[in-house]
Structures are given as C-alpha cells and as structure tokens.
Structure 1
Amino acid sequence: MPGLKKSKPTVLVGMSGGVDSSVSAALLQRRGFNVVGGFIKNWSDSKDVWTGECNWSGERRDALRVAAKLGIPLLTFDFEKEYRALVMKDFFRTYKKGETPNPDILCNQYIKFGLFFKMAKRLKMDYIATGHYARVRWDSNGTAHLLRGADTDKDQSYFLCRISQEALNRTFFPIGNLKKTAVRKLAKQFALPVADKPDSQGICFVGKLDLKDFLRTKIKSKPGEIVDPKGRIIGRHDGLDRYTIGQRHGFAASGGTSAWYVARKDLRKNCLIVVPGARHPWLYSDSAVVRDVHWLGVRPPAFPIKVQVQIRYRQKPVSAIVASDKYKNRVKLKFTEPVKAAAAGQSAVFYKGQECLGGGFLC
C-alpha cells in the first residue's frame, strides 16, 4: 500500500462480533499493526417483535470479548440514523416499486466504507479493515484494485462494488486470501471466544424472520390481478412487492399442469404477469440497461468493453459487452447468452477476470 512510512500504522477494524472480523483483527495485530476495534450499530427497532432476532447488543458483547482477548480497545459507532436514511429508506422505496434491492451493497457504500472510513480519518487512523472475503491489489500508480476473495464460495466482492477509490486505497481485507476453513482454524489457534460461533445468515435487520413477513410490517401492499402471457386473468396477487422476477408462483391455474413463474410486473395496472414453465422465453433477457453506475477505478473505462456480469450474489458470471448510454451514469449491456430473471433494482456487478470493476442497478 503506497503513501505511508509509519513504523506501526494504526488500523480501525470493523468488528461485528463474528468469526471473520475477529480473525481479521487478530491477524493484523500479529503483523505488527496498532489495532483498534470499531463496532457499528446500524439498526434496532424496539417497536417490532422481531428485534430480538437482530440482537446488536449481543453482537457488541461478543466484539468486546474478542477485543479483551486481544488487548485492544473497542469503539462503538452509532450510525442508526444514517442507516435508516441512506439504506433503509431506499430499501423500502424500491420494494414499494416492485423492484429487488440489495441493502448490503448500500450499507457498504454509505456506512462501512463511507461513515466508518470518514470516522477513521477523523480519528487519525491510517487504515480500516473488515472481515470481507475480498482482496486489494495496488498498481505502480498507487491505484487500488478490488479482487475476488480466494475462497470462491465465500467471495464478497459483489457487495463491495460501490465503495470509493479513496476508501479502497486505505482498506485491508486480512482474510481475503484464506478459505473459510482456514479462518475457523485460526480462530481456534488465537483462542478467540467466538471461534465456534455460527456464520450470520441473511439481512441483519430482518434476523431470522422471512423477508416477506418483515416487509408486511413495513409496506402496505396493494392486491391485484395475475395474468398469463395472453392477458387472461388467472388469479389474484397479494401485492407486487411480495414477488421477485423468476420466482415460482405458488398457485396452479385451473386445468393446467405446469408450474407458473413470475415474468413481469405491470406497475401501472398493478398486474403480475406469470408464465408456464421455468424455461419460458419471457424469463430471459439478452440485454439490459444499468443505472447509477459506479466505477472503482480512478476513471471509467473506455467503451465498449467486454466484461463478465453478475446480477445476483454467487451467480455464475455471464459475458457481456458494456456500451455507453445517452444518460449520465447509465450503460447498456448486451449479454452473449440470455440471462434468466434479470429484475429491476438488482445490482449488476462487472468483472474483468478476478477484478471487480464496479456496478450499478438494473432498470
């Protein structure tokens, strides 16, 4: 990493109370860095019965136990107000529009590599670090490049596609070159009190609740008609926000034997359009438009450019040509093979080999 000549730089490590971030802190300490832990409080909602499933105080307690074991301080940052405004507001807004948002990407952009990074600078910290499965490479010009994590099953570069070059340039991903099994072994070697803690699953503010159940508490849905490709009414839906493009619909039309899948949403008519069979052509797209594109490099690439695109986490990348669009921060995608279930609001993330170039949102 360019630019620093301190003998013992200080790193603010985002510590969630989980295994990955705890091992990250321990590894940096072993490498000789001055390590300070930082716990981020994003979300609590005492009015909701599901609060106990997203127990931030319990996670903070675990982070404190790890910090005590390592002999490092732990700072707590309350970003709940900002999280609601910058992440949750967009999450609810896009779901109300019938789109499919990914709040983790916005959380990384605005909170972990936004506010948390700014706080590190304000506190005169030299770097930040997180427990993401990703890697950073610096070129001879000092530009930071985001690479996939070595563990292909755990790679989280998809969620980091919108962070700033400034933040990326001052970030360590200590476990990015490791497999998850190796991280677990290290947790035991370091005798960390969370060594046997299960991995967190799903979206934090939902906890163990089904996402649909959570959304029912936050969004007033408007029921409407379900129609087939010919426009015939074949049922009723509970609200367009309850369904995802490509999702198998849980009903059977009279006299039919095929399963039905969500193909489109007509917001103007409040209609859900379903098609018979998982391979119906309406479920596939050979092109797309991506809005609010963010490039991780110092400047955007020259168009057209051939990339690999992921529109879902852990999806197999698909080759595509990215071309400029007449609107600012928008690009056109032409897939080399049809892509299934490309839904508005999903994040389209661009790769060149192992490098993540950036990403945007499907229109």
Structure 2
Amino acid sequence: MARLVAAMSGGVDSAVAAARAVDAGHDVTGVHLALSRNPRSYRSGARGCCSIEDAGDARRAADALGIPFYVWDMSAEFAVEVVDDFVSEYAAGRTPNPCLRCNEKIKFAAVLDRALALGFDGVVTGHYAQLSTATDGTVEMHRSEDAGKDQSYVLGVLTQDQLRHSHFPLGGSVKTDVRDEAARRGLQVATKPDSHDICFVADGDNAGWLAEKLGPRPGVVVDEAGAVLREHDGAYAYTIGQRRGLRLGVPADDGKPRFVLDIEPVSGTVTVGPREHLLVDTLEADRPLWCGAAPDGPLECTVQLRAHGAEHRAVVEVLDDGRVHVDLVDPAEGIAPGQAAVVYVGTRVVGSATITATSRSSISSGPVR
C-alpha cells in the first residue's frame, strides 16, 4: 500500500482515478489545485478546471469516496510558470502548449515535490496514459487504450523519476466506461462535460486575452512577395497554419485560400501563402526532456506534433550540444516554433523537445523559420 495524493480537478476522470486508487488499497488524500487567487479571473462554470464550481465538485467527490481533501494554493507557481510563459511565448512569435507546461512545472514538479516532502509516495491523476516496468526496471509510459482520449503527448515532459512516482489508473479504460463507473459510484460529476479550452482564458478568446495582456503591437500581413495585404494590431493573434480570420480582402491570384506561413515578432510581420508551402520535413528543437535514457545515435521513430495530431515517421538525433534534430519521413504542415515534438517508439513515449525552427529542405527551398 502506498500513500498517494490524488490530484482532483473537479472532473469525472480525476474522481474515478482517485476511486480506483482507493479500491487498490492505497491510502489516498484528495488535493485540488487553486491556480488563481481570484478563480473568476480564469474560468467560471462547470468546465473541468480552475473554477470555483470545480473546487466544490472535487470536494464532493472526495467526500463520496471517504478520503481526506485539501486545497493547495499553486496560484503563484501557475502564474509564473504557465500564464506568464504563455504570454511571453506568443510575444516572441511562438505557439506554446500550456498543458504541457502545466504538467511539467505544476502537476508533476511542484505538486509531486510537495507530496514527497510531506511523506507521500506519489501522485494519482486522471490522465489517459499507461505505465509499465521494463525488464531493466525502467518505468515506461505508453499510449492509453482509448486512442481518442490518449494524453501521452501532454505527458511527454515527464522524467524517469517523475514517472516512478506517478499513477494513471485510467490508462487501460475508455471514456464511456469511466463515465458509467462514475455513475455507478454515485459521483455527481459522471455527466460533467470535459474541458477543452485553455483553462486560464475564461471565454476561449485567446487573441482577445493576449491583446489585454500585451496591448497593441501594430504590424502588417504580407504575401510571399512582400506585398502588404493589411495591417494588424498584434502578431500574437496569429499562429502558423491559420486560415480563418485573416480578413485579407484581396484574394490570391489563383483564388485559393491563404494560410499563415511565418510570424516575425520584432517587426510584427505576418507572411501568408498557399497551403502547400506549410509543408516541412525538418525540425530543430531544444529543451529536451527524456522519459528514460536519451536516444544514442539516430532513432527511427514517430513524432507527434500536436495534442491530437497524427504521428509522423521520423528520424530523431540528439546533437552534441543537447539540441534535437528531427527529419520527418512524413512531412507535416502548419508546425510552429514553440510546439512540442513528442517522440514515440511504437506506443512508448521516449521524450519531448520544444520546436525552435522548421524547414522544408527536400520539399522546396528556403527555411520556414
């Protein structure tokens, strides 16, 4: 039996994960993370993360399970490590994934560190991923049974030490069964909708939220020849691969839709062009985080480049300076600096790195960024 902290967001997944940990005979304490000193400044309503209602739902689930329950104030850490990082990354023309950052810095760093310091053995979460132990004792993380809910991508930032103290009881389940189980257990969150948007952007309007934080930063939208198509109030409102909301006014010569190809944050220049110019086959990345040993030499593998994106066959190599070079056998489109490249061998997560540059070396000439 282990003493475990169950991170309870107020949603159905974390509630059932805590219940299964109790059933397994562990000594479980429920913890809800207060991520804002003023929860109304983030999200309100039953959305599964960060609201006052979520804290109440988490407490009621813990009461139903008969386990102790506490609220841990992580608002200061969350503001610096996730919210401020999100703002600064967009200001620099990159496209971050705050869920990976939250898992890396909050749920499996600050929370796990506090839990271990208090004498707990590990942390239970409602993430959909599977853990197994290899013959050499290495803890491996694999994709979940439910491909549609698999969250191994956003967990690709976890180190071997963190995996040794992690428990994912839902990894072998599908979401419909989890909801049915919650209903059988009498948990009120059984039918609570999932949260999909960024938790600290209350209305889901990322561009509007960033505009409030960063203010006007005028620039221009240009075509690949440099012709100005329109002015804008901030390059942070655009992402690589974006098509909707460009409001260019002047159609392309061929009449086809145009997409954001490049964002230059210093001048605020946003370049648009045809979809085929979004294709890239080479990535450079830094800040690698390996779930076990780093690859030794070129690794034939697959990489996932978005939270719910497809896998791409690739060859990954760790350079002498620690940076990561990725050759995509299957080219990808709309890949932006700031996104994470998560490396897989089969269903096993090898690790992740943050994309710093992309190019289309064998598709056409010239770098994208």
Instruction: Give the TM-score of the pair, scaled to structure 2.
Output: 0.90
- CA drift of 1:46 comes to 6.9
1:159-308 aligned within 5 A: 159-248=154-243, 249-253=246-250, 256=253, 257-276=255-274, 278=275, 280=276, 282-297=277-292, 299-308=293-302
Give 1:52's aligned residue. 44
- CA drift of 1:27 comes to 1.1
- CA drift of 1:254 comes to 5.2
- CA drift of 1:51 comes to 5.2
Q: Could you tell me how far apart the structure 2 residues matched to 1:301 and 1:226 are? A: 40
Give 1:146's aligned residue. 141
Q: What are structure 1's unaligned runs of at least 5 residues? A: 1-7
Deviation by residue 1:27-82 (Cα, 9 ceiling, x = unmatched): 1111222111111111244795x653575322111111011111110121101111
Q: Could you tell me how far apart the structure 1 residues matched to 2:51 and 2:234 are? A: 31
Letter in 2 for 1:56: S
1:326-345 aligned within 5 A: 326=320, 328-345=321-338
Tell me if structure 2 keeps the 8 A contact 1:251–1:260.
no
Find the partner of 2:82 among 82, 87, 96.
87
- CA drift of 1:15 comes to 0.6
Give 1:118's aligned residue. 113
Deviation by residue 1:201-232 (Cα, 9 ceiling, x = unmatched): 21111133311121122112412122111112
Tell me if structure 2 keeps the 8 A contact 1:13–1:37.
yes
| Distance 1:160-1:239 versus aligned 2 partners, 3 A rule | same
Identical columns (%): 34
Letter in 2 for 1:316: A
Tell me if structure 1 keeps the 8 A contact 2:295–2:318.
no
Give 2:319's aligned residue. 325
Tell me if structure 2 keeps the 8 A contact 1:348–1:360.
yes
Secondary structure of 2:120 counterpart: coil
| Distance 1:29-1:352 versus aligned 2 partners, 3 A rule | same
Give 2:339's aligned residue. 346
Q: Could you tell me how far apart the structure 1 residues matched to 2:40 and 2:153 are? A: 33
Letter in 2 for 1:149: S
Give 2:3's aligned residue. 10
Deviation >6 Å, runs of 4+? none
Deviation by residue 1:319-344 (Cα, 9 ceiling, x = unmatched): 11112334x33111111122101101
Tell me if structure 1 keeps the 8 A contact 2:220–2:228.
yes
Q: Could you tell me how far apart the structure 2 residues matched to 1:129 and 1:164 are? A: 16
Give 2:124's aligned residue. 129
- CA drift of 1:16 comes to 0.8
Q: Could you tell me how far apart the structure 2 residues matched to 1:67 and 1:159 are? A: 26
Tell me if structure 2 keeps the 8 A contact 1:226–1:271.
yes
| Distance 1:14-1:55 versus aligned 2 partners, 3 A rule | closer
Q: Could you tell me how far apart the structure 1 residues matched to 2:263 and 2:195 are? A: 32
352-361 or 250-259, which deviates more: 250-259
Tell me if structure 2 keeps the 8 A contact 1:285–1:340.
yes
Give 1:5's aligned residue. none
Q: Could you tell me how far apart the structure 1 residues matched to 2:343 and 2:252 are? A: 44
Tell me if structure 2 keeps the 8 A contact 1:221–1:240.
no
Deviation by residue 1:290-343 (Cα, 9 ceiling, x = unmatched): 11111110x2121111110111111110011112334x3311111112210110
Q: Could you tell me how far apart the structure 1 residues matched to 2:65 and 2:263 are? A: 52
Tell me if structure 2 keeps the 8 A contact 1:45–1:51.
no
Q: Could you tell me how far apart the structure 1 residues matched to 2:160 and 2:182 are? A: 31
Give 1:72's aligned residue. 67
Q: Could you tell me how far apart the structure 2 residues matched to 1:359 and 1:254 are? A: 39
Instruction: Give the TM-score of the pair, scaled to structure 1.
Output: 0.92
Tell me if structure 2 keeps the 8 A contact 1:285–1:339.
yes
| Distance 1:294-1:254 versus aligned 2 partners, 3 A rule | closer
206-215 or 145-154, which deviates more: 206-215
- CA drift of 1:164 comes to 2.2
Find the partner of 2:56 among 55, 58, 61.
61
| Distance 1:15-1:301 versus aligned 2 partners, 3 A rule | same
Letter in 2 for 1:34: D
Work out whether 1:30 is the aligned partner of 2:27: no
Secondary structure of 1:217 counterpart: helix
Letter in 2 for 1:151: D
Computed over aligned residues only, the root mean square deviation of the Cα atoms, in angstroms, reads 1.7
- CA drift of 1:255 comes to 7.2
